[in-house]
Amino acid sequence: ITTQVAVVGGGPSGLTMAYLLRQAGIDVEVVENRSRPYTVDRVRAGVLEQSAVELLTKAGLGERLHTEGQKHDGIYLQFDGEKHRVPFADLINRSVWVYGQQEVMKDLLVAHDKQGFSAHYECDNVALHNLLTDAPSVTYTQNGQDVRITARFIIGADGFHGISRPSIPESEITHHERVYPFGWLGILADVEPSTDELIYAIHDDGFAMHSMRSNTVSRLYLQVDPEDDIANWSDERIWEALQTRLGHPGFTLKEGPITEKSITPMRSWVSSPMRYGNLFLVGDSAHIVPPTGAKGLNSAFGDIAVLTPSLLDFFTTGNEKGIDAYSKDSLDRIWRTQNFSMYMTNMLHRFYSDNPAQDDFDYRSQLGQLRTVVNSRHGMAFLAENYTGIVW
């Protein structure tokens, strides 16, 4: 197969890039190693920044997002028995949308179907070749057949565990990593949310968060040991911990059947540069963040917003300025996002030092930091600007 752009990975990054490029008349093939249902059924991100919403809306992908998604004009920060609202819209006139990654994926697949296009699913042994030439290729086996796709460019949108990043020689790429001493236990529950806006809470026992997917489905998270086994967490134990950490006078956390639960470790990671020859890395393949700032999926959309017009410029005029600037421009933005995700994570989690004096000091200092934020219009505006997202 010969095409203009070969995309590796049929997650949100890959499908959005492919859709936007095809919309502009570029030939694109997408190679995905899992099945189509698998790529949709994974429960992941829940919050879209305003810029991501604008990108999807402009692309014609916003119809259901605007009818079924919920626009949120603020979040709550809860600590030391107090609950404070950070009013994004009042402070900076920007908002976020609660709309699950699974819904974004469904919209993308419908849009691809309308374009008469499908990714190649269940491809094994995906490998990249000739990345430093103008005819790089992707090979894979599907139903026992060996296939090669030759393109002008390859987009590595195959997530953190994909093969695109490892296809770059180690001497040509640097990895920056920070691992956190905790993970998030996340649940989906069939129960009406107990809050109108997201609650980020730090409690003596650790972080907890209340998010949602709809008026009938709640999404909640608990800080846990990253090595902990989900089998140790009965539904009863999960609700008890959530009640303790989110509880405060005048608030009732409604409980309901848990339909999904899992533990995700937390780390920050950036690989640099995000380009090698004619391979461009996009989304989780190049960078991941701890989820506290809700930045994972949104960062991917930031990459796409820069790379898509640059590729289109190259294909229509031969201008390479945009594609040459992609890695540096993206990394400048990604490091801002990394810093914000780390700031939120450090402020809102318990670090549990072995040294009780240090533990006590660190925790009180975090509470001081939270008070600095909620007592200052500038502090809250800083959080609001970064949470609702960098304006691309």
162 binds, among ligand FAD, ligand DHB, none (CB under 5 to 8 A by kind): ligand FAD
Question: Can you state the angle between helices 296-317 and 50-58, rounded to 10 degrees?
Answer: 40
Q: For the window 191-230, what string marks contact with ligand DHB as x by the rule CB under 6 A?
A: -------x------------x-------x-----------
**Smallest separation, CB 101 to ligand DHB (Å):** 8
Side chain identity, residue 87: P
**CA-angle at 332, arms to 330 and 334, nearest 5°:** 65
CA pair distance 192, 213, nearest whole angstrom: 10
CA 305 to each of CA 36, 310, 326: distance values in angstroms, whole numbers, following the listed order: 25, 9, 10
φ/ψ (deg, to 5) at 91 = -75, -45
Among residues 94, 120, 110, the alpha carbon closest in space to that of 59 is found at: 110
292 binds, among ligand FAD, ligand DHB, none (CB under 5 to 8 A by kind): ligand DHB
Q: How many residues bind ligand FAD (CB under 6 A)?
A: 32
**Smallest separation, CB 289 to ligand FAD (Å):** 8
Task: Check if 38 is active-site.
Answer: no
Q: Pick the catalytic residue: 12, 19, 72, 180? A: 72
Comparison of 221 and 326: residue with beta carbon closer to ligand DHB: 221
Task: Check if 291 is active-site.
Answer: yes
Q: For the window 238-277, what string marks contact with ligand DHB as x by the rule CB under 6 A?
A: ----------------------------------------
Report the run of H or E that residue 388 belongs to, with start and end: helix 377-388
**Smallest separation, CB 183 to ligand DHB (Å):** 12
Does 388 sit near ligand DHB (CB under 6 A)? no
Cis omega (within 30 of 0) for bond into 226? no
Candidate segments 18-26, 74-82, 159-167, 341-349, binder of ligand FAD by CB under 6 A:
159-167
Q: For the window 272-291, what string marks contact with ligand DHB as x by the rule CB under 6 A?
A: -------------------x
Specify the DSSP class assigned to residue 142: E
CA 34 to each of CA 110, 124, 137, 195, 238: distance values in angstroms, whole numbers, following the listed order: 18, 9, 20, 36, 31
Does 156 sit near ligand FAD (CB under 6 A)? no
Task: Check if 295 is active-site.
Answer: yes
CA pair distance 167, 280, nearest whole angstrom: 11
Comparison of 14 and 290: residue with beta carbon closer to ligand DHB: 290
Q: How many residues bind ligand DHB (CB under 6 A)?
A: 9
Among residues 372, 195, 178, 214, the alpha carbon closest in space to that of 292 is found at: 178
Q: Which of residues 267-286 bind ligand FAD (CB under 6 A)?
A: 283-284
Does 50 sit near ligand DHB (CB under 6 A)? no
Does 46 sit near ligand DHB (CB under 6 A)? yes
Sign of CA dihedral 264, 254, 295, 338: negative
Specify the DSSP class assigned to residue 160: T
Comparison of 161 and 252: residue with beta carbon closer to ligand FAD: 161
Comparison of 28 and 198: residue with beta carbon closer to ligand DHB: 198
Comparison of 168 and 220: residue with beta carbon closer to ligand DHB: 220
Q: Pick the catalytic residue: 291, 326, 349, 363? A: 291
CA 41 and chain centroid, separation: 16
